[in-house]
Amino acid sequence: MTLSYPQLPFLFEDDALVALVKPPGLPTANAEPGQESIYTLLKRRWPPGAFIGVVSRLDAPVSGVVVLAKTSAAAASLAAQFRERSVEKTYLAVVEGRFPAPLDAWVDWHDLVSRQPGQPRSTLHRQPAAAAEPTRAVDEASSDEATPKPAHVRARVMRRAGEVSLVQLRPSTGRRHQLRVQLAARGCPIVGDRLYGARLPFPAGIALHATALAIEHPTTGAHMRLEADPPREWTERFPALVPRTPDPR
C-alpha cells in the first residue's frame, strides 16, 4: 500500500507500522515549540489518541526512510530489532576531501562516540585495535550520552568527482550524529554539514540520506526492505555522482 500526505511520501502503511520518506529540515520528533515534525504531522492527521511510536530517528537535516509503530506491541518489537542490531541500515553521503580508501573498497570503522549535555556536537574517540569488537553488554551499559559508546560502520566510496565523493554507509549502531562525526574525523565531512567542518553549502539540509531500511514486520515476521532515492536536489547539485533516475514510463 502506498499513500501520500503533503511533505510526507509514504512507502508503506498497515495496522502495525508506517514507513515514510523524511524530507530534509523536518525533525523526526521532539521539535522546538511551534515547529513541525514527523510526529506532530502524523498526530494531526490520525484520529485523536492514536498511538505513534518513534522507534528510530534521523537528524533534522538528514533525509530518508523512517519507520514508526502504530501499536505499543509493534513499537516494542521494532525497538528490540534496533537494539539487537538486526535492522539493516544503508545511507548515502556526498563528502568533501579524500575518502581514506580506494574506490569500491569496504572499510570498517570501530570508534567510540559521546555527547556532552547541552553541546550540539558529538565527539569521536578512536578505539585501540584490540577493542575493535566490543561486547553488546558494554555497548548498552549506560544510557548516558556523555559515556563514550561503540560506533561501528562499514563504508565505501562509490564515485568521485573533483573535490567531492559519493559514499555508501552501513552502520550497525545508531549513536547521535554517528556518521557525521565519523566521516568528519577522517577528513571528509558531509557536504553542507557546517557543524562538523564542511566548507561546501548544500541547498537541502546536509548531503546524508537514509536510502534503505530492512526490518522484520512486527506482526507477520516478514522481511521488509524499504527504499527511497535521494532527493531531487542531489541530482541537480551532483549530476556526476547521483545520475537522474530514469522515468519508468
Q: Give a yes or no: residue 29 inside a domain.
A: yes
How confident is the model at residue 131, as a pLDDT? 52
246: CB partners within 8 A, 6+ apart: none
Q: Do 95 and 191 belong together in one domain?
A: yes
Q: How far apart are CA 115 and CA 122, in angstroms?
A: 5
In this predicted model, what pLDDT tens digit does every residue of 192-208 receive, in sequence order? 999 999 999 998 899 99
pLDDT, position 190: 98
Using a pLDDT cut of 90, give the percent of the chain over it: 78
Q: Do 23 and 52 lie in a common domain?
A: yes
Cell numbers at 198, concatenated: 564542511
As a whole number of angstroms, the distance between CA 240 and CA 161 comes to 7
Both 21 and 67 in one domain: the answer is: yes
What's the whole-number mean pLDDT along residues 24-32?
92
Whether 90 and 210 have beta carbons less than 8 Å apart is answered as: yes
Write out the DSSP string of the chain: ---EETTEEEEEE-SSEEEEEEPTT--SS-PPTT---HHHHHHHHSPTT---EE-----TT-EEEEEEESSHHHHHHHHHHHHTT-SEEEEEEEEES--SS-TT--EEEEEEEE--TT-SS-EEEEPPGGGSS--HHHHTS---TTS-EEEEEEEEEEEEETTEEEEEEEESS--TTHHHHHHHHTT-PBTT-GGGT--S--SSS-SEEEEEEEEE-TTT--EEEEE-PPPHHHHHH-TTTSPPPPP--
pLDDT at 118: 85
- Average pLDDT of the chain is 89
Q: Same domain for 108 and 182?
A: yes
135 shares a domain with 64? no
User: What's the rounded mean pLDDT across residues 60-70?
Assistant: 97
Q: Which three cell numbers stand for residue 247?
A: 522515468
Burial class (CB in 10 A: 0-12, 13-18, 19+), 66: buried
Q: What is the mean pLDDT of residues 52-72?
A: 96
Higher pLDDT, 158 or 56: 158
Q: Would you place residue 32 in the very low, low, confident or very high pLDDT band (cuts 50, 70, 90)? A: confident
111 shares a domain with 52: no
Task: Report d(CA 89, CA 67) in Å as an integer.
Answer: 12
Q: Do both 111 and 192 map to the same domain? A: yes
Together in a domain, 97 and 192 = yes
Residues 40 and 24 grouped into a single domain: yes
CA distance 239 to 161: 10
Q: How confident is the model at residue 246 (pLDDT cuts 50, 70, 90)?
A: low
Per the structure, the count of domains in the chain is: 2
Residues 99 and 191 in one domain: yes
* Partners of 95 in beta bridges: 165, 190
Q: 84 is in which domain, residue-wise?
A: 4-89+211-237
Higher pLDDT, 43 or 131: 43
pLDDT at 4: 44
Which of 15, 59, 111, 247 is catalytic? The answer is: 59
Q: Please give the Cα distance from 198 to 176 (Å, whole number).
A: 18
The C-alpha atoms of residue 243 and residue 236 are separated, in whole angstroms, by: 9
pLDDT tens readout for residues 72-119: 999 999 999 999 999 999 999 999 999 999 999 999 999 999 998 889
In the residue annotation, 15 being an active-site residue is answered as: no
Q: Model pTM?
A: 0.90
Which pLDDT does position 144 carry in this prediction? 72
Could you tell me if 158 and 221 lie in one domain? no
Residue 132 pLDDT exceeds 80: no
The reported pLDDT for the residue numbered 22 is 95
